[in-house]
Structure 1
């Protein structure tokens, strides 16, 4: 009896009873894990109403809308009114056979439905969504586009302050113009923690709705240029010496860079016209969301000056742990200028990102910038601070155990509660994707399987003790399609790893591009996949921020690092992976030889094989022939770099998210071998 009740509760909550791992084995979560995850929901998943809070229909499909009548024999009498988006006069009618006979061919958008039965009323957001996401004309014409993606913070230049910024991004975009690149992808540029500079992972943000102010190009600010105080400080021997040292390092020193940039920005802010109409409009348009973010950053900075270990709101005094608390509102009254300062930083970051996007458009890039949306947020940042009911704070997100990671992965991110998300009519998700579709032509969704299911782990537990939680995938894809069409923003889904079959067709039918890594693509015969057999509706690349560079892959440097930092505690698994790498390299070499590529003597499939820039570029030019719509390179591989930017499974063992590129932007594009590579890649995509 107890088991039956538990299973029913799990079904209501959306805790999946089993899943199939990468070997095809059926895995079921432990009973104790299911009980702990049920507690994380806080029993807020059961609601009954004649109308749901939100209902989604696809355009050009019948809009049959039955009421949620508990008694099927009961005959409901009442009327309905429907306010179309941006219209004041409602459509109206009566309930028929316990259903609302909605008009056909309703326009795309977000509409408000009201049901009246006697003296009771119910409200519902009615969303009419398109069948597919937006794709530019070039993709509809089956053209093959190419571009690069970079970790913005890794850029070196003679003018930045020790970290790549939007000024560097402009320079990089201009430098790409002779090669007619079609897009330039960025790492997530979400807001992090300015008061805690060492929290550097772009995939563990404080908020995904706002920007990382570390990317502001201070030198280009008129307010900074015109401030005598700022210029005297900036040109002092001490600051110039410090900037020179920060620029020269191979690894970003966040603890020095962020406070230095904030000091420079404070000087600039003293010159700001607080009545600037563009700034006022930005404040009004951004509403409470910006106030939450700016207050969080100002309060975090204030508390960190007076107390140690103020990492996030769950470390703060209880009085400050909610945005709406009296203590926080008092802080807002007493520190209005500090809050305005952090609001202005978001304004400037938004402006500079927009300028980068506009530059891409002037260069006639079909896509231009594409942004990256992290799968979640940290549990103690700004996004959770003001809407705690939306998040399950007693759970974190990760991945189940597999051959590569027998202990699974715990990413330390806090998940949306799918039931509260629906009760809030998906408004947080809508606002999230809208904000990330600003100033770009494409959006990459990290771990897009999260639209269908997410691996939840009880807070503080090992990733082994988790379970998959179901999400309303059809509704979320429909919203993505609507916002994608409205923003003319192509959607790329990072679908690596174990991908459930049920989501593959949903993504394909919705016009969402898949994500293919050359290293992982083999055909049914076990051979390196023929480049012409890749799906067109995809983006293909050789590596990512979570994988070794081409150089590192070819000589097994990732295994050396993994062994050094305890990523591969089992020697047998490490040996199997190394043998798999040797076999994979042999198959890649076979393909290169079949393509008539003359490989230098000595380069072979062994992990002792030398590798050089010539071979590296040969491989990139070869893969550029891939039949996928998009092909992406990364500057690390242009430069034949070895060190990875991130080692999954490590935190403090390796300096993740800190490694810079080995050359500055000018030197990269002055390199004749890199020039030849980019010209060759463009020719391959046109051919």
Structure 2
């Protein structure tokens, strides 16, 4: 997320007719005023909200203190399973929340730091002797010591209940374990115990400072591409930039989109964050394709010919055409079968991914069967007889969609291996979107974890004075704890399978999210807090296990302690040159940048640097009617920002007297490289002179968001094969390498 106007996804839910689900989330009206007296929350309602992590007040972007309406608080509590239509309901709910720990033998789950002791409260009928141990994931057992802590027993639902306190010692191995409570020979309860690192430890041997390239993979095509950049192109990019000295290649989220059209263009609005979009598969690189008989091979080649000619066209990318062509080819290759050895690998992948993959493949098969239509009753329940029957009837299509994920996983592994063999320290850096489509696969399979009737967004700010509603259903904090953070963990494991690093979009969402009840304006939401210690702990545990580095996108309004906390835990932040300002609005000096960050000149929600310097962000927003201030005022501010930046570049001796556009772009990158930032990112669009923005926040059909192919300043397409001879790219990389070498 970032401090720029509009909906950062640049995608409309209305266009995604292949998705279905119970949630809608369009912002309908805006009200930033303090609620009227009848709608002010009572003291008891405020206390209940606080118990569930629901904010009842906040400070807005103008510095005014705002009280959240009782209507909003009740709607958010209802999404958390707490219905409070009256003050009597509130009183009952307060009593229930107070008694909740006493009603459970063990807490729902635990996520603890490895170096810290933890006191565990265990609740059993008063006087009952209980023992507790930890069942480690490797099969070993650790008995826990009971502490001499006495707590007054209390009556809970007619049972005199006592509390025993046990010590979970520091030093347990990192991993996913279970706490087990036993009375005599009878097991009473279990709960998940995740032991996470205190701070993420980078793999040994990494350089002190690294640089890399940022690219929107779908936009970077080769002559062999099927109209859209794919995993074979990713491997080529990793090989090329690895040879140039880059240590990472940050790409857009590869999360899965709709299996049948129209496909949502935004990579930040996937149907699931756990699985990969098969649009990125290169069909010819599937081993079985090489052994196809002539007629079948011809079908694959004919399908490719339908879209391959578009790779030199600077017009918006047609994902639907590319996917239609690939689907034809993939069906042929799938039908050809596999050797016993290859089938065993597929079977092993399927077993490792478990029920989550089976359910996703079933959702794809059902979406394909009922394309554009409402599903029959009974298919919304994963345990219903109707759905069991569908699993049987669609078994071959389920197998097909499982196979697609295996193929994509195999090609991702090849791309990561190619990048690291070319010398990259990290290789591919994946991007993790903040949420999912409200009518997608995750919304269907994770109903016990996602909040119903809620959309995630942002409150009004100086750039978005009506607030933002991204229409994505949030995970429920209570459900995450109740399920042992399994959904979050499994999603991270898939994204990290073939990655040396991960960028977490809007990492503040691990701390709090702005929840907007359906039917309310974006300004009529409130913050809901998450157990950040648990959320960050799970993230670090999964990253540590695969040796990956974590970068958190922490732009915008951030509580100061959050950045300190993330730095303490070994999570790098994000710095974007145009957003790094002094108190008087001038550009921050490079030596004052944070050290533990990925620093870049721009972000994908701004025009490429050449376009930004030419004020094309002002022109575009004026043309689309997105400006909230008079055009002359906005243009004057843009020029002032540029002039102050140019003056600062001259102060550091980075510019000649009359710099060209290329020299300005290179000077900006030299400036960022002179910061103490651990990682420096170079946008590929800047390297080739592109001027068009990939995404214009606040738009949908008005602008071709997430569709523009990589091109130079004259809108001539730049293919992967052209990069080696691109003089502008070579020159910029020389500048970055020289500045890094100065250290």
Aligned mates of 1:545, 1:76 — CA distance in 2? 60
State the secondary structure of the residue aligned to 2:626: coil
State the secondary structure of the residue aligned to 2:448: helix
Q: Which runs of 5+ in 2 are unaligned?
A: 1-39, 84-92, 150-163, 712-717
- Which residue of the partner structure matches residue 38 of structure 1? 77
Q: 1:490-513: CA deviations, max 9, x gaps?
A: 110000110012312210110100
Q: 1:398-436: CA deviations, max 9, x gaps?
A: 111001110111112110010111111112111122222
Aligned mates of 2:557, 2:671 — CA distance in 1? 27
Q: 1:435-482: CA deviations, max 9, x gaps?
A: 221111111110000111000111243211111101001111122222
Are residue 202 (structure 1) and residue 259 (structure 2) matched?
Answer: no
How does 1:362-441 map onto structure 2 within 5 Å?
362-441=421-500
Are residue 231 (structure 1) and residue 297 (structure 2) matched?
Answer: yes
Q: 1:617-654: CA deviations, max 9, x gaps?
A: 33323322222000001111112212111111112221
State the secondary structure of the residue aligned to 2:696: coil
Are residue 587 (structure 1) and residue 644 (structure 2) matched?
Answer: yes
Aligned mates of 1:135, 1:23 — CA distance in 2? 40
State the secondary structure of the residue aligned to 2:225: coil
The structural deviation recorded for 1:247 is 5.1
Aligned mates of 1:323, 1:247 — CA distance in 2? 45
1:651 to 700, 718, 722: 700
Say which is worse superposed, 592-601 or 465-474, in terms of deviation. Answer: 592-601
Aligned mates of 2:608, 2:41 — CA distance in 1? 52
State the secondary structure of the residue aligned to 2:173: coil
State the secondary structure of the residue aligned to 1:659: coil
Say which is worse superposed, 240-249 or 225-234, in terms of deviation. Answer: 240-249
Q: 1:217-242: CA deviations, max 9, x gaps?
A: 11222322322233222444x86254
Q: Aligned pairs, how many?
A: 663
- Which residue of the partner structure matches residue 667 of structure 1? 722
8 Å CA contact retained: 2:113, 2:197: yes
Q: 1:371-414: CA deviations, max 9, x gaps?
A: 11111111211112122021012101111100111011111211
- Which residue of the partner structure matches residue 18 of structure 1? 57
8 Å CA contact retained: 1:191, 1:213: yes
The structural deviation recorded for 1:195 is 0.9
Residues 575 and 430 of structure 1: CA distance in aligned 2, closer, same or farther (over 3 Å): farther
- Which residue of the partner structure matches residue 508 of structure 2? 449
8 Å CA contact retained: 2:456, 2:469: yes
Alpha-carbon RMSD: 2.3
How does 1:57-206 map onto structure 2 within 5 Å?
57-67=112-122, 77-89=129-141, 91=143, 96-97=148-149, 98-117=164-183, 121-137=188-204, 143-206=208-271
Residues 505 and 597 of structure 1: CA distance in aligned 2, closer, same or farther (over 3 Å): closer
Aligned mates of 2:223, 2:418 — CA distance in 1? 21
Aligned mates of 1:586, 1:408 — CA distance in 2? 30
Q: 1:36-90: CA deviations, max 9, x gaps?
A: 2222222299443132021233222223223468x9xx66632213212211555
8 Å CA contact retained: 1:163, 1:247: no
Residues 103 and 614 of structure 1: CA distance in aligned 2, closer, same or farther (over 3 Å): closer
- Which residue of the partner structure matches residue 606 of structure 1? none
Are residue 277 (structure 1) and residue 372 (structure 2) matched?
Answer: no
Are residue 317 (structure 1) and residue 401 (structure 2) matched?
Answer: no
- Which residue of the partner structure matches residue 464 of structure 1? 523
Residues 464 and 22 of structure 1: CA distance in aligned 2, closer, same or farther (over 3 Å): closer
- Which residue of the partner structure matches residue 674 of structure 2? 625
8 Å CA contact retained: 1:160, 1:247: no
- Which residue of the partner structure matches residue 548 of structure 2? 489
8 Å CA contact retained: 1:215, 1:349: yes
Residues 111 and 614 of structure 1: CA distance in aligned 2, closer, same or farther (over 3 Å): same
Say which is worse superposed, 48-57 or 151-160, in terms of deviation. Answer: 48-57
Identify the structure with bigger relative contact order (alpha carbons < 8 Å, sequence gap 6+).
2
Scaled by the length of structure 1, the TM-score of the pair is: 0.91
- Which residue of the partner structure matches residue 7 of structure 1? 46
Say which is worse superposed, 647-656 or 468-477, in terms of deviation. Answer: 647-656
State the secondary structure of the residue aligned to 1:113: strand
Aligned mates of 2:64, 2:415 — CA distance in 1? 47
Are residue 546 (structure 1) and residue 613 (structure 2) matched?
Answer: no
- Which residue of the partner structure matches residue 86 of structure 2? none
- Which residue of the partner structure matches residue 684 of structure 1? 739
Aligned mates of 2:323, 2:521 — CA distance in 1? 33
State the secondary structure of the residue aligned to 1:632: strand
Are residue 571 (structure 1) and residue 629 (structure 2) matched?
Answer: yes
Aligned mates of 1:538, 1:103 — CA distance in 2? 33
8 Å CA contact retained: 1:18, 1:29: yes
The structural deviation recorded for 1:319 is 2.8
The structural deviation recorded for 1:2 is 7.0
Residues 17 and 92 of structure 1: CA distance in aligned 2, closer, same or farther (over 3 Å): closer
The structural deviation recorded for 1:200 is 1.8
8 Å CA contact retained: 2:300, 2:328: no
Scaled by the length of structure 2, the TM-score of the pair is: 0.85
The structural deviation recorded for 1:176 is 1.5
Residues 445 and 418 of structure 1: CA distance in aligned 2, closer, same or farther (over 3 Å): same
8 Å CA contact retained: 1:179, 1:679: no
1:51 to 95, 101, 106: 106
State the secondary structure of the residue aligned to 1:149: strand
8 Å CA contact retained: 2:257, 2:263: no
1:353 to 385, 396, 412: 412
Residues 177 and 89 of structure 1: CA distance in aligned 2, closer, same or farther (over 3 Å): closer
- Which residue of the partner structure matches residue 12 of structure 2? none
Aligned mates of 1:396, 1:42 — CA distance in 2? 16
1:27 to 66, 88, 93: 66
2:686 to 629, 637, 660: 637
8 Å CA contact retained: 2:56, 2:73: no
8 Å CA contact retained: 1:516, 1:539: yes
Aligned mates of 1:597, 1:285 — CA distance in 2? 53
8 Å CA contact retained: 1:541, 1:633: yes
Residues 50 and 657 of structure 1: CA distance in aligned 2, closer, same or farther (over 3 Å): same
Say which is worse superposed, 548-557 or 617-626, in terms of deviation. Answer: 617-626
